[in-house]
Every structure is written in C-alpha cells, then in structure tokens.
Chains A and B, each alone.
Chain A
Amino acid sequence: MPFIPHTEDEIRDMLSVIGADSIEQLFDEIPAHLRIKKLEGIPDGLNEMEVSRLMTARAAQDGMPVCFMGAGAYDHHIPAAVWQITTRGEYYTAYTPYQAEASQGTLQLIYEFQSMMTALTAMDVSNASLYDGASALSEAVLMAVRGNRKSKSRRILVPTNVNPVYRSATKSIVQHQAIELIDVEFDTKTGQTTLDALKAYEGEDITAVVISQPTFFGTLEQVDAITDWAHANGIMVIAVVNPTSLSLLKPPGEWGDKGVDIACGDGQPLGAPMSSGGPYYGFMCCKKEHVRQMPGRIVGRTLDQDGKEGFVLTLQAREQHIRRSKATSNICTNQGLVVTASTIYMSLLGPQGLEKVAAACHLNTNRLIEKVSAVKGVDVLFNGIVFHEVVLKLNKPVAEVLAALAEKNILGGFDLSSDYPQLKNAMLVCATEMRTDEEIDRYARALSEIL
C-alpha cells in the first residue's frame, strides 16, 4: 500500500483495541446510503517509475523556448544551493511555527527575511509574506483603508500602468467591502502617471494612491513628486515595486520627504523559478506606525526564560484564529518555503551580487532596445528610461508576430492588445541577465525576418 505502513497483523491488533470487527465498521456513524463503494473516475495507481515516465514526457513536451517575456514573472538565474537547501525535509515538511521552541529554524529564517526586505525597501517593518504580488496589493489596499483614519471615502487611486492582473485581482478581492478603485490614465507619450492626472482629485477625500515602480510598461515614475503630493493631501502611498530593481532604484522608504506608507510586490524574482506562475510570494513592508494594521504572519525576536535570544510569531491578536470575524484578514499562512528560497538567494548574492543582477537586466534591455530599434516595423512606444522591460509597437498584429517567433522557439513577449487595446499592436518585452548577446541579436534578426 503506497505510503501506508500497516501490516495485516497490526490492523487486526489495532481493531481489537478499538473493539471493532473491521475498518468499515469505523464509518458506521455515516449514513450508509451516502457512502460510496468506488472512485470510478480515478485511474488506477501508478508506481514511481511509471509516474516519472509520464511527468518527464509532459515536462519535455512544453519545450524550453528562449524567454523574452516578463509581465510579472521573470527568468533569473537561481544558484544551485537555493533549492537544494530549501527542499531539505526540515524546511519542506515543517508547518507554521506554532510550537516556537521546535521551530526556531523557520522562525529565525523569517526574521532574517523580514530584515532583508526592510533593507531592500528601506521600510521599517516587513511581514512574513503573502500569497503573491496581486494578493499583496489587494491586502495593501485593505490595510490602507484601515490605516488612513482621516479618510472616510475608501477610494483608492490606481494608475492603469499598474500590472492589469494585479488590478483585476484586487478588484475581485476588495469589491465586497465598499472600496472604490479609481483608474488614473497614464500619459500616452511616456507611459508615466502624471501629477496633473492625480491633481484632478485634489480636494476630494482619497484614501490611498498606488504607484508602480517600474510601471507595468517598464517605465519609471516620478516617485518623489507623487509621494509628496499624496502626503500633502492626506493620501496614503502604496508602492508596488520589483525587488530586483531595488538594488538600482531608489527604495520606496526614501521616496519623497517621508517615504511611502506601504510597499509591496512579488518576490518571485528573488529565487523562485517561473514555474507556470507559482508558488511565488507577495511581500509587504510598512512604516512602524501601521504595523498593527498589517495582515499576515510577523516574527519577532524575544528572550526565553533563561534570557537567551529566540524568535516567535507575534502580534497574533490581529489574526483570524484569535479575532475571527474582526481579523485584519482571513490569511493564515505565508508562502514559507518560497520565502526560505528567497532568503537564501539574497544571502548568496549579497548587496553587490544583487546590484549586478539589476544592472545586467537593465543593460541587456537597453541593448535589446538598441537592436530592435534598428528593425523596420518596430518602434519603442514610450520615450524615457526603462528598468528591464520595454513596450514595442509593431506594424503587424502582435499575435501573428508572437506566433512566428514561437516557431523559432522564442517566447517573444506579452501581447498588450487585450489589456490596452488603445495602444494598438503593442507588446511588452523583457531581457533579464539570463539573455546572452547572441540571443538578443537572434531576437532582433527574427523580428526583422517576420516584419
């Protein structure tokens, strides 16, 4: 019996202790007519060799195209040590550290993770993670509604250059709580959110504004000016940031005079494989004064009975198992295992390694821009600096071009036409540190052959 160790003798002995004739008898409190005899629709079990054969074939079937796609999931190098250590049974098969004394490994690791995230973002505190970037933004919105006591409106300004699926997931998650998400259009020349567009709301009661740095288009926002404008108008600032970029770009804790109130984003670029979309994790950092409004697990350092340093889950009075219907969120878990990977990733790369990753991504993308700009039928849509993604405007429908690139085993980019029909024939392209000069040249050549 796969994974079940019982022998016939043991089963007999155990039933006799229970005083039952058969295992079936243990289910005698369940109405007999509801019980099923068989699971007809489930295939017969396979052994490990057979399942391996099946999965190996399926994994191979999906090919491994050269990836120029980003749009929220990024192809980065992950050092070998990261997942070898992460999948040690002591991390992989532990649960939430409720018994702190028997979970100091996980707890200290989360404390170190929180410390690293505050280092990267220049914020005061971090939680132990949320599900992904989209859920982190939705929780940040809920947190701002609780945190901005001066605002009664529950209205949030969300520029449309924020990742569209983050916006739609946030809408799905917060819509039942009378929260209004207001679209703020970006400037069509620069892809940026302008102060003028925001100033249209001056004098109104606005709870928070979301700023994405870089934007979904890869362009850079005037983060200082927007942050200061918001604070001058009693509006909380939620930053959505790419963690790779933070080694190069100004961290949200230093935007404007006071820094943002909440910073969040997706931790995938820090050591999680693209893996079809998950598991990733959402990170969330905030200013000290908002910590009691923050959702999710938080680990604190304290002392034991002998005065020795140790780590515990703390501020649990915010959480569902204590507060039930009055909790800050229904969230129980974090994405512990992926946080483990990320903590090891950041430790291995260190500040200089992370800066090199960010620089290599940026320089590769600049090189890509230079190469494809020379291709007839390709225009760079927005003027200005980008981090590691760029919007290209084509003289043909994007779907057609992407299909032709796929024939050449190239994952050519993300088609923006359904989320941004007004941009017409635009696609979002990314070149991380993984792309070689040769691959970038090949990409440009392929485009010129197709267009």
Chain B
Amino acid sequence: MLIFEHTTQGRQNTAQAPVVNAEVNDIPVELRRKTAAPLPELSELQVVRHYTRLSQKNFSIDTHFYPLGSCTMKYNPRACNSLAMLPGFLSRHPLAPEKFSQGFMACIYELQNMLCEVTGMAGFSLTPMAGAQGEFAGVAMIRAYHDAKQDFERKEILVPDAAHGTNPATATMCGYTVKEIPTLDNGDVDLDALKQAVGPQTAGLMLTNPSTLGVFERRIEEIAKTVHQAGGLLYYDGANLNAILGKIRPGDMGFDVIHSNLHKTFSTPHGGGGPGSGAIGVSNRLKPFLPLPMVAKEGESYRWLTEKDCPQTIGRLSAFMGNAGVLLRAYVYMRLLGKEGMQRVGEFATLNANYMMAQLKNKGFDVAIPDRRASHEFIVTLKKQAKELHVTAMDFAKRLLDLGYHAPTTYFPLLIPECLLIEPTETEAKESLDGFIEAMLQIQSEAENDAEFVKGAPYTMPVKRLDEVRAAKQLDLSWVNQS
C-alpha cells in the first residue's frame, strides 16, 4: 500500500510541527495557495512503520552479497556515517565564515591531498556531486585547456566502445562529437585503430583502466604517447580505481585528468542511487581550470579559493561545496585505512575477483576473456546457455535473487553477449564468494533440468517480473494526479 492510502483526513503529528500563534494575513490572496497540498496525513508511528517495512523490500550491502560489476558495492563502515553526522558538521551553514569552518575545511583540505597522493595527480577539486558531474568537469577542463591555447579545431573526443554510457553523453554536453575506438578480443584497445583516429581534431581520449571488460590495459603508455603526440589529453574514468588502489596510479600512467567515484573506491554509501561524489583530479597543466570551491592552507588556517585566486576556473557546478557530507565520509574511511589499508584494497579486491573467476571457470562457466588476469571484476558470458537452454543472463540474474544474492551487472559492457559483470570487492569473505558460486551451479543445473522454472524467477521477492512495457506506455508516475 502507498503511504497515501494510509491517510486519515485530519490526522496530525503535532510534535513535529512548530507552534504558530498568529495568522498569515499579509500575503496577497493572488499569491497564496488556495487548497492544501494533497499530502499524506498519518501518525508518527504509522510513518515509521510504513518506511521501515518498505526498507525491508530492498536488497542492500548490509543484508546481501551485492557483486554488481563496475559499482564497487563494498562495506560502508558505520563510523563514516556517524562521524559525518556529528552535530557540528550537520549544523554548519555552507556559507558560514571561515572562522566557523576550520574543522570542516581541515578535512576537505586533507582529503584533497590524500586523493592527489593515491592517484598521482597535482590538484583535486571535490565539488562534483557524482561521477557523471566529475566527468563533465574533466571534459570541460580539457576544452578550457585547448581554448586557452587558442586551439579551437579540436572538436572530437575518442571513447573506446567498451566505455560507460556517461562518457559519450558527457562529451556531447561539452560540445564535442564522439568517435568510438574498437576493442580487441583480448580486451585491449585497438591501438592501430587509435593511431588512425587521432589527429589535430582530437581533444582527448576517455579511458577506464582497468576497463569495463575487467582487464588492465597493458599498452597504456603507448596509448598515452599516441594521444599526447597528437596534442590531445587523456581522461581517466575512475570507476574502476578500486582495482588498482595502492598498486599503480593514473597520474603515473600518463593521465591528465581523473574523476574518482568516492562512493565506489572510498566506500561512501550508494544510498539507493546517490548521493555520490565525482571528485576530480588533474595534472599540473590542467590545474588552473579546476572547478571551485577548493580549500587552501595558509600558515595554520584554511581558506576558500575563489574566482580571484583561480581566474581560469571552469566555474562552479553546485550551489555550495558539492556533497560535503559524502566527502566527510570518504575522509573518515581514508583515515581508518591509512597507507597500508589502502594498498590492501586493490590487492584483496583483485584476489577475490580472480578466485571467483577461477572457480567459475573450473566449474564449467565461460568467462569472456579467459586467459587474462581479472582486475577487481570479470565477465561470465552465458551465450552457450542462452543458445542451448534458452536461459539468458537475465534469467540467471533473477534466479540469483531467490537464492539470496543481488545479481551482478547484466548486459554491460554491451560488447559481450549475455554477460554478467561480477565484482565481489575486498570486503567479502571467502564463504560469500563460495556461496555465490554454489548458487550459480544450482541455477545451471535447474536450467538444464527445467528451463521454464528458471525463466519464471524470481519467486520469493515481493513481486515477480514486472511489466516494463506497460510502465512506459501507460505512464503512472504520481498517485496524486490520478485519484
């Protein structure tokens, strides 16, 4: 039932509302609301019960293994949440003067520096509010860099065909056209095609490394050289930074700009789809263009950098300081891990992925790129099952839900048919990985014996498979406007 359907007209929660002893009578009637908004009317208990019960209809990291490839669903330490929600942080007004902000600014300043260190970049701005906004900032800086050199002929961004959909969408938002570069069967970028593609029209290349195919791009230095020699810049999509944290740094690979999804690598919560953070780092040549605000340290005190300090900045992307509370959570996480802990992240994320890949391969599943090392994720392709048993990757995914596992990412990357992109993360224990492998074997056996049964999954969720076509055709997006 919807919360609106629990409503009883006239019911009020007076404990939560302020006491109002006077009438509002000075606002002209033509500017006033005529009838009360049709919002729910319930007691506090009814509201608490409704949303507690709704929460129980979700899978989450706290309740289930969640090996969603490319999303890094690792454990979100509770301390990160409680310390970011200390009253002093929550009540700080974003425009409070520096006098009332030194504690917060110290965290932001140190976070900027730690991110520079782990990525090998020269400067960081934390304002982008999600990976996609970080990408936007990064490509906008590439454009600002070329514009500052009066080089207006560079109108094209190169993107491998395995890239996230945000990469081409971002390039378009920045006024660029997009050219796709093919990928070889072994997962590496087709270097010959890249060499053909670069030229005086190339503004830059956007690359995820390790790629969305779950392998490390081995010829990264040659790729960087190729793009740089053509006068373009190299953009690092930090979606997969968790794979290499503490082992190799994008700055050392030759990247000029990187966004880091703090909600992936630095364990801030995914929150049902946000808020994220797409902090953005750059090499020296792009530093003047970083978006504002940023924090600088002078002597023992911190101050905000403004347009006066950074006249070439690409500007502001949010009303204030991006998702400040998310940044505090990432800061606490990095302090808890420290230098040793951060190196272990890449190591154990990689160990878990390679272990799962080896086990699934041993048990007869096809992996997309079998003779390479997995990064922190890998791909199982169910092409054979789809062809022979008519059981698809989607069917496996839905049946996994019944067996208590959130499904891996399905049908991405687009290059691999019937794929499951599996990313266990470093925080999962071996028994979770083994349980998932057992579940895959069980589904395989069910598919061989009774394919229809698997195709009907899930059976134990609050709903069965939903009619998405109906949802898009008979749009029902608001309870209010139909009753």
Shortest distance in angstroms between B290's beta carbon and chain A's nearest beta carbon? 12
Q: Which residues of A contact B54 (CB under 8 A)?
A: 104-105, 108-109
- In the complex, how many angstroms separate the beta carbon of B335 from the nearest chain A beta carbon? 5
Cα distance A166–B41 when bound, in Å? Answer: 34
A333-350 to B contact mask, C-beta < 8 Å, 1/0:
111111110011011111
Partner of B426, one of A3, A10, A247: A3
Q: Is the CB of A4 within 8 A of B348?
A: yes
Which residues of the partner chain A approach B351 to less than 8 Å between Cβ atoms? Answer: 6, 11, 14-15, 18, 23, 26
B173 at the interface (CB under 8 A from A): yes
Q: List chain B residues, Cβ under 8 A from A112.
A: 2-4, 479
Instruction: Specify which chain A residues have a CB less than 8 angstroms from the CB of B273 in the assembled complex.
Output: 95-97, 106, 128, 297, 333-334, 336
B contact residues around A61 at 8 Å (CB): 88, 102-103
Whether B184 sits at the interface, judged by CB under 8 Å, is no
Q: With A6-B430, A65-B96, A347-B3 in contact, do A291 and B103 touch (Cβ < 8 Å)? A: no
Pairwise interchain contact A305-B92, C-beta atoms closer than 8 A: no
A-binding segment of B242-250, B382-390, B443-451? B242-250
Give the contacts of A144-188 with B (CB-CB under 8 A).
Answer: 163, 165-166, 168-169, 171-173, 176-178
B190-198, B227-235, B280-288, B355-363 - the one binding chain A: B355-363
Determine if A42 and B117 form an interchain contact, defined as CB atoms under 8 angstroms apart: yes
Nearest chain A CB to B348 CB, angstrom units: 5
Question: Which of A200-208, A229-237, A355-363 lies at the interface?
Answer: A355-363
Shortest CB–CB separation between residue B345 and chain A, in angstroms? 8
The interface residues of chain B lying within 8 Å CB-to-CB of A34 are: 220-221, 248, 252-253
Encoded as 1 (CB less than 8 Å from any B CB) or 0, chain A from 291 to 326 comes to 100000111111111101111101101011111111
Q: Provide the residues of chain B in CB contact with A346, threshold 8 Å.
A: 39-40
In contact, B58 and A67 (Cβ under 8 angstroms): no
In the complex, which range does the number of interface residues on chain A fall in?
35 or more
Cα–Cα, bound, A277→B28 (Å) = 33
Interface residues of A in 24-54 (CB under 8 A from B): 26-31, 34-36, 38-48, 51-52, 54
List of B residues within 8 angstroms of A273 by Cβ: 85, 90-91, 325
B461 at the interface (CB under 8 A from A): yes
Which residues of chain A are near B314, meaning CB under 8 Å?
172
Residues of B within 8 A of A352 (CB): 12, 17, 36, 41
Number of interface residues of B (CB under 8 A): 200
Binding-face segment, A72-80, A374-382, A438-446 = A72-80
Most central of B92, B321, B426 by chain A CB within 10 Å: B92
| Of A27, A52, A69, A312, the contact of B83 (CB 8 Å cutoff) | A52
A56 to B58, CA, bound (A): 32
Please name 23 pairs of A and B residues whose Cβ atoms are closer than 8 Å in the assembled complex, sorted by A.
Answer: A42-B118, A55-B332, A69-B95, A73-B319, A91-B55, A101-B465, A126-B478, A223-B31, A224-B30, A273-B91, A276-B320, A299-B477, A315-B475, A320-B165, A323-B169, A325-B177, A329-B173, A333-B273, A333-B275, A336-B270, A347-B47, A363-B20, A411-B100
Q: Is A131 an interface residue (CB 8 A)?
A: yes
Partner of A251 from B37, B274, B323, B407 at Cβ < 8 Å: B37
Among A1, A109, A171, the residue within 8 A (CB) of B344 is: A1
> Whose C-beta in chain A lies nearest to the C-beta of B215?
A29
Determine if A383 is an interface residue (Cβ-Cβ < 8 Å). no
Most buried by B among A39, A111, A334, A359: A39
* A101 and B461 contacting across the interface, CB-CB below 8 Å: yes
Residues of A within 8 A of B204 (CB): none
Within 8 Å by CB of A301, from B106, B359, B471, lies: B471
Nearest CB to that of B267 among chain A residues?
A3
Interface string of B250-283 (1 = CB under 8 A from A): 0011000000000000010111111110000000
Q: Which of B28-68 contact A (CB under 8 A)?
A: 28, 30-34, 36-42, 44, 47-48, 50-52, 54-64, 66, 68
Is B208 an interface residue when CB atoms closer than 8 A count as contact? no
